[in-house]
Amino acid sequence: MLLLSAFIIGFTAAALPGAVQTTVLQTAITGKWKQGLRFSAGAAFMDGFLLLLAFAGIIQFIVSIFWIKMSIGILGVGYMLILGITGLLKSIGKMDQKETVINKQTFWNGALLVILHPPTILYFIGVAATLFATTNLSWSVVGLASFFLFLGAFVCFLIVAICGWGIHKLNNTFLLTLFRIITSLILIFFALKLLYSLIIQ
């Protein structure tokens, strides 16, 4: 039951509209579905790893220090803005299609986007508290639950990538450009939303 719950939590957390899901869709729309899968694997891996860290109490310690939490948040805002703005500029032809280390969708960039989002970190503290309510769990069981959470998140991102790939296969230039502009604007929106949450806290 614990493993099934972890899988469902991973899937539903990944299904919520957010920067990772938007980036996966954006990458698949441009036809780079392999990059999208690598990015998805990195993001899903970090989801599972955060659950493991939350069980160990490490995340709770980090977010209790205000300046560390704010620094992570500001870096996250900057990273999402870079992804969104470069995606937008490429979509409207104001920037060449050359990829940089920052906007290339790699495994580690997927993991980075998750770890630089404080609400996600706080979410997994709550998940760990409810999922691991039984205090006598072994590390192997917790590790297995983290793996199932990773699987749930990855399956969800895979579905998003397949949808993006389907849009790409339509081969309609106007539609592809429109979807790329929309996903870029959504990324910018999530960056500004995160910035707002950091300011008002």
- What is the per-residue pLDDT for 82? 85
- What is the per-residue pLDDT for 101? 45
* Residues 6+ away with beta carbon under 8 Å from 21: 14, 15, 156, 157, 160
The percent of residues above 70 in pLDDT, for the chain, comes to 92
Kindly report, residue by residue over 15-69, the tens digit of the pLDDT: 877 888 888 888 888 888 788 889 999 999 999 998 888 888 777 777 788 888 8
pTM: 0.80
- What is the per-residue pLDDT for 154? 95
- What is the per-residue pLDDT for 151? 96
Angle 60-66-71 from CA coordinates, rounded to 5°: 100
Kindly report, residue by residue over 128-171, the tens digit of the pLDDT: 767 776 657 788 888 898 999 999 999 999 998 888 888 888 88
Q: Is the pLDDT of residue 116 over 60?
A: yes
Is the Cβ–Cβ distance between 47 and 14 less than 8 Å? yes
